[in-house]
Amino acid sequence: MVSGDLIISQSEHKSRIKKIRDQLKRSSCAALYLTNPTRILYATGFSHISTERPLALVIPQDGTIFMMGPRLEEDHVEEDSTLIEEFFSYPDYPGTTHPIRHFVKILRQKGLTGSKIATDSVDGATGGWGYRGPSLRDLLQQSRMVDGRDLVDSLRWVKSEQEIRLLRESARWAEKAHDILIENIAPGVHDALIGMRASYEALTRMMNKLGTKYHQLKWGLSPVVVGCRGQVGPGSAVPHAVFSKRKIRRGDVLVTEAGVEVGGYTSELERTVIVGKAGPREKRYFDAMLRAQDAALGTFKAGTPCFQVDAAARKAVESAGLAGDLRHHVGHGIGIDGHEPPWLDPGEKTIMKTGMVFSCEPGLYVPGLAGFRHSDTIELSKHGMDFITKYPRSLEELTV
């Protein structure tokens, strides 16, 4: 990284592009045509808001890297990406001439029609926000369009030193944000208000400390999000709850989360928090969840098949007689996306490698009572495993 900036360096992006081009040569593809904003960000460092307006990055096997997109992104590319050497714009979507027809014209000018082209979208666009349009594959019938998603995605599984650094910085501020959240949790207050207050205070501290070293690359009103997201009391038994109409009460179980985006990367920190005092049932489930996470963590090392991590947690839960309270697998890869392959799942045979990063989050969910889940971000290191998130896990430390 350059001058201590919290962002992936241009030299690393150039290295990624070289690896992509090497794969293009091996597969005899003339170019890689990307539409997914995460893949574009990973390859070039350029971050944008994907809308109904088609936008595509083209990395040829040799020659100029170029982008095709709406005019509103033209200055943005010029200011924020030196690796994208040319930008070809169209006025707007849907336009009197559809943008995909503009793209075909550019590809023809670049001599790519009639070639084998790898892509993450044969339609030529991400397709969100009500988008409709002709398929790029139909308009380029003389070209052979092949699945090129793995040309980028396979590079993302094992993290570089720079990526680990960003994830650790993310975790450092997530831990501070969670501390602030804990300080603000109280009966009689809505969890959304507590979360907003804690997020604001944590963001203020982070911006004051990091200053110009900090870069936000993901679309969001705030790069710091900490709270309960509706996982309050009985609502915490819904793993992906969104909102609770209910204010926090004494005796509630909360499932909290803290995420901070740093240079495009976000770690995952979640905790089960008890307001007041845990009863016998709450204590039983909390202890079982913690034993399951410990069992999963004990299997983290290079050479372990991913399904064995899930199996270890599942065995611990079964031994407690609580297998019916499982609702999801143990975890997932994490990095530039919040969920990335490979998965810690019974059906995932991928072998763990040094440099991979996962969430570890076995959960137990009891309708009418509560949910119980800790999530930590874990790095597979040459020594076995390292916590990226370093936060208290015991019932005593998480009772407020």
Residue 4 has pLDDT above 80, yes or no: no
Half-sphere exposure of 36 (CA within 13 A, CB side): 17
Number of domains, the chain = 2
Show which of 100, 128, 156 is a domain's final residue.
Answer: 156
Co-location of 141 and 227 in the same domain:
no
Q: Do 376 and 271 belong together in one domain?
A: yes
Task: Name the phi and psi angles at 288, rounded to 5.
Answer: -65, -40
pLDDT digit string, tens, across residues 81-93: 999 999 999 999 9
Is residue 204 domain-shared with residue 272, that is, in the same domain? yes
Q: Which domain holds residue 306?
A: 161-387
**pLDDT tens for each residue of 212-229:** 999 999 888 789 999 999
Q: Is the pLDDT of residue 231 over 80?
A: yes
The domain spanning residue 219 has which CATH number? 3.90.230.10
Query: What 8-state DSSP symbol labels residue 352?
Result: P
On the question of pLDDT at 1 being above 90, the answer is no
Q: Is residue 5 part of a domain?
A: no
- Domain check: are 138 and 186 in the same one? no
The tens digit of pLDDT for each residue in 381-397 reads 998 999 999 999 999 99
Confidence class of residue 2 from pLDDT cuts 50, 70 and 90? very low
Q: Tell me: the pLDDT tens digits for 34-46?
A: 999 999 999 999 9
Query: Are the beta carbons of 170 and 261 closer than 8 angstroms?
Result: yes
Q: Is 167 exposed, middle or buried (0-12, 13-18, 19+ CB in 10 A)?
A: buried
Q: How many percent of the chain have pLDDT more than 70? A: 99
pLDDT digits (tens, 9 = 90+) for 166-180: 999 999 999 999 999
Domain annotation covers residue 87: yes
Alpha helix segments (H runs only) across the chain: 10-26, 37-44, 74-80, 99-109, 136-139, 149-156, 161-184, 191-210, 280-297, 306-319
DSSP readout, 145-181?
EEE-HHHHHHHHSBPPHHHHHHHHHHHHHHHHHHHHH
Spatial contact of 20 and 30, defined as CB atoms under 8 Å apart = no
Q: Does some domain include residue 393?
A: no
Where a domain ends, among 156, 182, 214? 156
What's the pLDDT at 219?
A: 82
pLDDT in tens, 283-296: 999 999 999 999 99
Checking if the pLDDT of 134 tops 70, the result is yes
pLDDT, tens only, 146-158: 999 999 999 999 9
Do 145 and 172 share a domain, yes or no? no
Burial of 394 (0-12, 13-18, 19+ CB in 10 A): exposed
pTM to 2 decimals?
A: 0.95
Last residue of a domain, one of 156, 172, 203: 156
Has residue 392 been placed in a domain? no
